[in-house]
Chains A and B, each alone.
Chain A
Amino acid sequence: MQEFIDLLREKLVEINEKPKRCKRCLMDETAEGIVFTETGCNYCDEFLKILDNPPKKINLSLEELVNKVKKDGRNKPYDCIVGLSGGVDSSYTLVKVKELGLRPLAVHMDNGWDSELAANNIKNLVENLGVDLYTHVIDWDEYRQLMQAFFDADVIDIELLYDNAMLAVCYQQANKYGLKYILAGTNSSTEGMILPRNWNWFKWDKKNIKNLAKLKRIKIKTFPAIGTLDKIYYEFVKGIKWISFLDYLPSYNKFEALEALQKQFNYKPYPYKHYESVFTRFYQGFILPVKFGVDKRKNHLSTLILTNQMKKEDAIKTLQEIPYPTEQELKDDIEYFLKKMNWTKDDLKDYLQRPEKPHKQYGSEISLWNFFKEIYKKINK
């Protein structure tokens, strides 16, 4: 296992210490399309603009939004959906939504990689808040095959599977109960910095998922994929709105949220963003840097620097360390990953050495998405 850890350390030096870095945030030349400006870079300039004025799906104050959700949900078993991963953002969203007197149905997607932390946090929250929960459990064998197809294809966004399914399940549940609002933990304060195009992939790509499955003759039985046309159907025919709820709060501060969750709900924190799933932390903390040369912490930490939640020197120090609390924890995750995927060490070595291939190579609906986006923009001019 030590050789994998050495490999990660080597790679982190290569991608974090040499490339030219923005003078204000942590974004650097590993980000496609970075332009260094007088004040910083295009990524942080843009982020600050968004932060000043977060783009809201519905242009209302918090109070107005809450009243609207209540009114539209009258006589229904719930008035909104809250997607719940067990992470800080989604957990805090659920707490606030409930505090404001809304009647949410919490929706969780289980892809076979939930950590004990996630299970613990979800259980404590829904129990203490008295919120109903719905879990969509994807058949692990099916999910494992889909992941294997993504690994075999050498595409960067393995998490497209989780993210796409989570979107799908939230819309499906909203539709089932005739609800108009999905209040999500997505937010500008900690997530508003746009990810470089080469760091992940477009999340509504049902075609990409289906094509990769087809290549490996995988039958999709329980995986709830969602694509452009489904999105149009849910959003425009059914009127279901995905709302970045935390942007409506006067000020969302991750550390304050964490403290409140720990105090009130026996919430167990974890060291980095999105570490509620064992695979997600292994993907972000190991696979992305080693195979794809991407250290996502640069993006997350940059948002914390720009919102004055962290000092830049401290963030730079963090980047020099492996994205795991200890080497042992990384070793445990590697072993667990090999066991779950039924891989040998050589399979992992081989995978890490192969060059990346673009998602587009396997067929994608991104151009369809962009086409509709253009039309939408023109109509709304």
Chain B
Amino acid sequence: MIKTRIIPVLLMKNRGLYKGIKFKNHKYVGDPINTVRIFNEKEVDELIIFDIEASKANKSIDFDYLKEVVSEAFMPIGYGGGIKSVKDAENLFKIGIEKVILNTHAILNFQLIKELVKNFGSQSVVFSLDYKKTFFNGYKVFIKSGTKKTSYKPEDIASIMEDLGAGEIILNDIDRDGTFNGYNIEMIKEISSNLSIPLIACGGARNLKDFKMAKDAGASACAAGSMFVFHMPHRAVVISYPRYEELKKVLGEN
């Protein structure tokens, strides 16, 4: 086990996997079941799956299909997308999801996080903080797969979610998503220094050094999508995950 968790993120829509740039222009990259199987054989410690349409299109969660996907995996899976109620979360845990990840409905209804934490414990409730720089007002938090701006600043919502009991925060920079420009290190530093719960860096990872930089800035874990799915320059799909020895070396862990 590596102390700094390195987590692949898969984006799902209509039972297919997609990958975009800055939360837009999503391109089909493959079949979720086969991809999870490959990550499984690569002995990935943890996986995150986001349904990128569920909240945006107000769809219900595709439990049947998720069950199929989860049954292919040996590693714990965090799932986000369209979670509206305690019942939704309960059904997700039933099919083998380890952590529920909230964004839209956590912001629309602060009580939801509180109830989830009360029912299932902090360790299984994660808040996904999607943020973007806006033209006039600096960084703002977004919901509905990055399509709707809120009035919250990232640092404020992070602290609210921590107070509500969320066990972890995924800090996702929309402007860096899929760009291979590296994580937003400043933001990771700022948010993590005011948090006592773990922070997962997300958005922009291009190489192993980025993981080290995020770790040094205060991230407990690093998530990446494109880096584990694409080979540049043609964004050719080929699933990959670094070997443990490489990760340990670059992260300076023994």
Return the chain A residue nearest B39 by Cβ. Answer: A116
Inter-subunit contact B239/A119 (CB<8 Å) = yes
User: Nearest chain A CB to B212's CB is how many angstroms away?
Assistant: 19
Contacts of B233 in A (CB 8 A): 132
Contacts of B15 in A (CB 8 A): 141
Residue B1 interfacial (CB < 8 Å): no
Inter-subunit contact B33/A339 (CB<8 Å) = yes
Contacts of A140 in B (CB 8 A): 16, 30-31, 34
Return the chain A residue nearest B38 by Cβ. Answer: A116
0 or 1 for each of A125-148: is its CB under 8 Å from B? (1 = yes): 011000011110101110000000
Query: In the complex, how many residues of chain A place their beta carbon closer than 8 angstroms to a beta carbon of chain B?
Result: 26
Stretch at the interface among A93-101, A105-113, A290-298, A343-351: A105-113
Given known contacts A127-B231, A339-B33, A133 and B236 CB-to-CB distance under 8 angstroms:
yes
Residue B216 interfacial (CB < 8 Å): no
Given known contacts A126-B231, A132-B234, A116 and B41 CB-to-CB distance under 8 angstroms:
yes
Residue B163 interfacial (CB < 8 Å): no
Contacts of A222 in B (CB 8 A): 28
Given known contacts A119-B240, A122-B238, A339-B68, A133 and B231 CB-to-CB distance under 8 angstroms:
yes
User: Nearest chain A CB to B205's CB is how many angstroms away?
Assistant: 16
> Please, could you name 21 A-B residue pairs with CB atoms under 8 Å apart, sorted by A?
A110-B30, A110-B237, A112-B31, A112-B34, A114-B34, A115-B38, A119-B239, A119-B240, A123-B231, A123-B239, A126-B236, A132-B233, A133-B231, A133-B236, A135-B231, A135-B238, A137-B29, A139-B28, A336-B37, A340-B33, A340-B34
Contacts from B to A (Cβ < 8 Å):
15-16, 28-31, 33-34, 37-38, 41-42, 68, 71-72, 231, 233-234, 236-240
Q: A110-B237, A133-B234, A139-B16 are in contact. List 11 more A-B contacts (CB 8 A).
A: A110-B30, A112-B34, A116-B239, A123-B238, A132-B234, A132-B236, A133-B236, A135-B236, A137-B30, A140-B34, A340-B33
Contacts from A to B (Cβ < 8 Å):
108, 110, 112-116, 119-120, 122-123, 126-127, 132-135, 137, 139-141, 222, 278, 336, 339-340
